[in-house]
Amino acid sequence: MEKIKLDIAGLSYSQTQSGAYALVLSEVIGKRRLPIIIGGFEAQAIAIELEKMTPSRPLTHDLFKNFSDHFKINLVEVIIYNLVEGIFFAKLICEQNGKEVEIDSRTSDAIALAVRFESPIYTYEFVLNSAGIILDDDNDDKDEIAPEISLEEITKNPSERMSLKELKKHLKNSIDNEDYEAASRFRDEINNRQEN
């Protein structure tokens, strides 16, 4: 199957899901755009690297990059290879000592790593046919898909924009998924609001 190369066109607030973002990918050759809904933390990880900011401590994706560099593992490419019931599936094509390995990944994590490794991002025609948006000549701006937001908005704590009800829901989901780092952030934001 022939691969289609994609570039990152931008990040914007999701118009369909509260607290989420739309990562917009565009065909390198062509006018189609592929919007992918991702979480706030993933959007932040992508935005920080795109803007070449250096956090005070390594983010998870930075840690993965440092680990890979240390053990001479290269991320050759990212492929968004499927779309099932609105969920995109991606894989990392990695190489070490001439041996290539495919690793399954969430699409948002794969993109966050691709920008760190400066690796190409690909998809297939059927994915673009299923979820792509075609822009005509009069509508060639990425801003027409959704209003772009500033890096400052993305990099501030996404929980600050959530309602108390949304925070409690995310806290429960984080605990259920054993993501205690995220759970602690939601807990702290809930406590801050209840104190004020």
Give residue 153's pLDDT: 53
Residue type, 127: V
pLDDT at site 60: 92
Task: Give the pLDDT score at 82.
Answer: 96
The residues spanned by each domain of the chain are 3-156, 160-195
Q: How far apart are CA 171 and CA 167, in angstroms?
A: 6
What is the pLDDT, as a whole number, of residue 126? 94
pLDDT of res. 144: 42
Q: Provide the token pair at 73.
A: 């593992």
Whole-angstrom distance, CA of residue 169 vs CA of residue 186: 9
- In this structure, CATH architecture of domain 3-156: Roll (3.10)
**pLDDT value of residue 92:** 98
pLDDT for the residue numbered 78: 98
Q: What pLDDT is attached to residue 149?
A: 52
The list of the chain residues with pLDDT below 70 reads 16, 18, 135-162, 196
Give dist(CA 119, CA 93) in Å, integer. 10
